[in-house]
Structures are given as structure tokens and as C-alpha cells.
């Protein structure tokens, strides 16, 4: 189910913070109540392979997201206790020690099911084929709780964190100036107005 252009689901989920506290997080309310953008990224499993590289990459860019008024939230279907164990495992031992953003523990799969990002498929006998964990889904949500980007990677394919920063920059430019952002747009580059003359002028120079 596609959510781009729609409100993010109003669902509260148990989460773990880096201090070891179990908390409840409603992603929609994180955006609307704090008047911030939210980047929510899902990954398949704790204590696996591509996943820790992504969590560390988002952590390394935390100041860039903060400068852009954006909250980063990780998520998987592991329990909060497993998240905390992973948070207390050293980076050089495959852990995510040093990660400070909150991580959803959607162990009952309520939110993941609504988003339709689970790999599990039920057969005719009611048995689940697959691990019933999430693909690498990513959502960018604006200050009103509306999704302005969503994407889903297959399990082995890690994300490029820099491109989410670019997308946030582009969307913020649109919010401020009412422009549209062409292919490969980056902060500081020329944008366009949504009319034929502006498009023709842009294409004549690019």
C-alpha cells in the first residue's frame, strides 16, 4: 500500500532508547506535535549483516538531520530487549553501540502490517513463508504528518543515507519557495517553476 501524499498511520509502537528505557512512540505524532520532519527507516533484523552498517551510517549523519529539523527513527520487528542487547554490543563486534536515536520494536507487527512491508506470505494452510520481517523500507514525513517519500529495498541492498538528506533539502526548498526540483537537484542548484517557460529555460542551460 502506497502512503506517499497521505498521512502516516496513527499507530503507537513500543520502542527502545539508547539508555535502555522502553517507551511508546507514535511516528505521526512525532512529526505533528514536534513540528519536525521524520525519517523512519526499517531494517530486517538485529544482529545481522547489512543492518548495523545502516544504523551506524544514519548515526554518523545525525547532526545533518538535526540541522534539517528532522527526527531519525529506526525500526524492526525485534523486541525492545533485543534492541537493547544490540545497543550494548560494541561496533567492532557487529553491534550498534553509540547509536542514540530511538528504535521501534514492532514485535507484534502492527505497524509493519499496516505499511505492508513484511516479507512473510501466508499459504493456503495458514503457514507463513519467509521470516515475516520487514524489507528495508524508508519513509520521509513532513511536519503535518504527510509522507513525501517512501521507498523499499530488498534485504541485501543497503541504503545511501546522503540521498535522504538530498530529498529533505529538496522538499524543504519546495516548501519555502514553491519551486519544483529537477533530476539530480542538490542544495544550491537551480530549481524550476511549474510552468512551460521555466522548464524550457532550465533545459536550455542544462
From residue 145, alpha-carbon distances to 28, 55, 118, 195 in Å are: 5, 23, 22, 28
CB 98 within 8 A of CB 56: yes
How far is Cα 142 from Cα 74, in angstroms, rounded to an integer? 17
Catalytic residue, chosen from 27, 51, 155, 161, is 51
Please, are residues 158 and 44 in contact by the beta-carbon 8 Å criterion?
Answer: no
51 is catalytic: yes
CA 167 to chain centre: 12
CA 102, CA 59: separation in Å to the nearest integer? 11
Instruction: Report d(CA 176, CA 82) in Å as an integer.
Output: 41
Task: Say how many CA atoms lie within 13 Å of 171 toward its Cβ.
Answer: 22
Give the E-state strand segments of 69-127 in sequence order: 70-76, 103-105, 121-122
Instruction: Please give the positions annotated as active site.
Output: 51
Amino acid at each position: 500500500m502506497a502512503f506517499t501524499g497521505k498521512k502516516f498511520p496513527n499507530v503507537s509502537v513500543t520502542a527502545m532508547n539508547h539508555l535502555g528505557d522502553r517507551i511508546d512512540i507514535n511516528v505521526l505524532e512525532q512529526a505533528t506535535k514536534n513540528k519536525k520532519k521524520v525519517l523512519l527507516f526499517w531494517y530486517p533484523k538485529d544482529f545481522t549483516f547489512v543492518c548495523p552498517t545502516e544504523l551506524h551510517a544514519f548515526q554518523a549523519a545525525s547532526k545533518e538531520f538535526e540541522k534539517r529539523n528532522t527526527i531519525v527513527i529506526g525500526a524492526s520487528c525485534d523486541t525492545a530487549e533485543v534492541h537493547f542487547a544490540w545497543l550494548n554490543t560494541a561496533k567492532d563486534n557487529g553491534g550498534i553501540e553509540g547509536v542514540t536515536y530511538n528504535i521501534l520494536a514492532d514485535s507484534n507487527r502492527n505497524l509493519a502490517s499496516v505499511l505492508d512491508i513484511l516479507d512473510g506470505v501466508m499459504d493456503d494452510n495458514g503457514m507463513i513463508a519467509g521470516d515475516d520481517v520487514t524489507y528495508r523500507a524508508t519513509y520521509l514525513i513532513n511536519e503535518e504528518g504527510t509522507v513525501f517519500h517512501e521507498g523499499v529495498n530488498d534485504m541485501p541492498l543497503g541504503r545511501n543515507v546522503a540521498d535522504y538528506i538530498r530529498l529533505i533539502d529538496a522538499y524543504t526548498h519546495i516548501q519555502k519557495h514553491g519551486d519544483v526540483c529537477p533530476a539530480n537537484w542538490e542544495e544550491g542548484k537551480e530549481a524550476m517553476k511549474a510552468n512551460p517557460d521555466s522548464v524550457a529555460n532550465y533545459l536550455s542551460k542544462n
